[in-house]
Structure formats: structure tokens, C-alpha cells
Amino acid sequence: MDVDLRKEQQAALARPRMRYSLAAKLFFLSMDLFAGKKTTLAKVKLIEMLAVIPYRAWEFRHYALMTRCHGDPVQEKRIREIIAWCRAAQDNEHWHLLAVHEKMREDGCRAPWYLHSPFTVLALGFYAIFSRSLARASLGRAFLFNAEFEDHAEHAYAQFVAEHPEWERQPLASERVRAYADLPTWADVFRRIGLDEREHMNRSLIYCGQPHRVVD
């Protein structure tokens, strides 16, 4: 199905953000404290480095659940569905990270301090522990937190593209990025990433039992 990426970007800008939980607000505040309030390529690269972690945690958790639910075909089907989605989402998030990395390389952007060790090791390690702990405590709450994360990311990307009209005239030359999405400009690449985040948000809402909040 063809998607009007520009139209979906405008829809994201017009749609109010979720009413975020205290945990989500603290997480976003910590990102602003470390990487600055302004959205930059470096900041979204850090976000994409973190974004893949919950899907790994859920895949690990659902394999553990499968060993206890092999006698329940309905539950096993749901678990296999979530595992398949987690794998696809990880691949998709890796493409986002690759795209941001390629744009930084093309623009000659230097990586700031928070994209170097030991900060990245500590940040990724902390978020991995948080994601696994939350998944063990409540999978529903883990999915809802991710929905908040992805809603925040979609709005950030929509605004990011609006702040960079020059991207409309910058053709996508990277074959590595084109291998995932053959798009004409960098503006459309980042619009596509934002729409992917909406899809991740929607699936997270479905799995946390709130399908009525899904956004078309």
C-alpha cells in the first residue's frame, strides 16, 4: 500500500502526544539532560541505540514463557506472534540506527561525548536492566512504556523533519539505507522512520490491552 509520508508527518504534528506516565517523563527528562533538549542527529542516534533493547528483552522473556505454555495452543500462538514481531522490530530499529549514522557521516557530524564509551555502555546497560526488569514485573506495563517511548519518538521525528526543509532537496544516495527503503530524499527517510515508530507504538498498545488507542 502506498503511503503519503508527508501527509502522515502532518498528521503526527497535529495529533496530541500521549499523557505520559511519570516513568516516561523522567526518562525523557534524562535524555534532555544528557543530550540536550534540541533534537539533533546525535540525539536521535542515541535514542535508536536504546530503542532496540526492549524488543530483545521481550523476545528473551517470551521464549521463557513458551516453555511454560506449550500445552496451551492459544497462548503459544500469541507468544510466537510477539516473538516474530520483536525480531522484525529489532531489524527495523537497526535500519533506523543505520540511516541516522549514514546521515551523520554524510554531513560530517562529529559524535558528541554521550555517543562514546563509557557513557554508551552505562546507558545501554542500564536500559537493558530496566527493560528486562519491567518485562518480568509486568509485560503489560512494559508494552505501555514502549508505546509512550515510540509516541514520543514519532512526534520528535515529525518535528525534526519540519525543522530541516533542506532535507527535501537532499537525495538519498546511501545504498545501505536504500536496501531497506528506496526513498527519494532524506526528508522522506526520516518521515518513514517516524511512521515506523507509530507502528511500533500501535503494536505495543495492542499487546498491553489498549487497542482502542491505536492510531491509523
The per-residue pLDDT for range 100-119, each reduced to its tens digit, is 999 999 999 999 999 999 99
Give the count of beta carbons closer than 10 Å to the beta carbon of residue 31: 19
Distances (CA, A) of 109 to 8, 42, 106, 214: 28, 8, 8, 36
List Cβ neighbours of 194 (8 Å cut-off, separation of 6 or more): 8, 9, 12, 153, 154, 156, 157, 158, 161
pTM: 0.94
**% residues pLDDT > 90 (the chain):** 90
The per-residue pLDDT for range 68-84, each reduced to its tens digit, is 877 778 888 999 999 99
**% residues pLDDT > 70 (the chain):** 99
Answer yes or no: are the C-beta atoms of 197 and 154 closer than 8 Å.
Answer: yes
Alpha-helical (H) ranges within the chain are 5-14, 22-35, 41-51, 53-66, 73-107, 119-137, 139-162, 175-178, 186-207
The per-residue pLDDT for range 19-66, each reduced to its tens digit, is 999 999 999 999 999 999 999 999 999 999 999 999 999 999 998 888
User: How far is the C-alpha of 32 from the C-alpha of 16, rounded, in Å?
Assistant: 20
Domains of the chain from N-terminus onward: 5-14+21-213 (1.20.1260.140)
User: How far is the C-alpha of 173 from the C-alpha of 53, rounded, in Å?
Assistant: 29
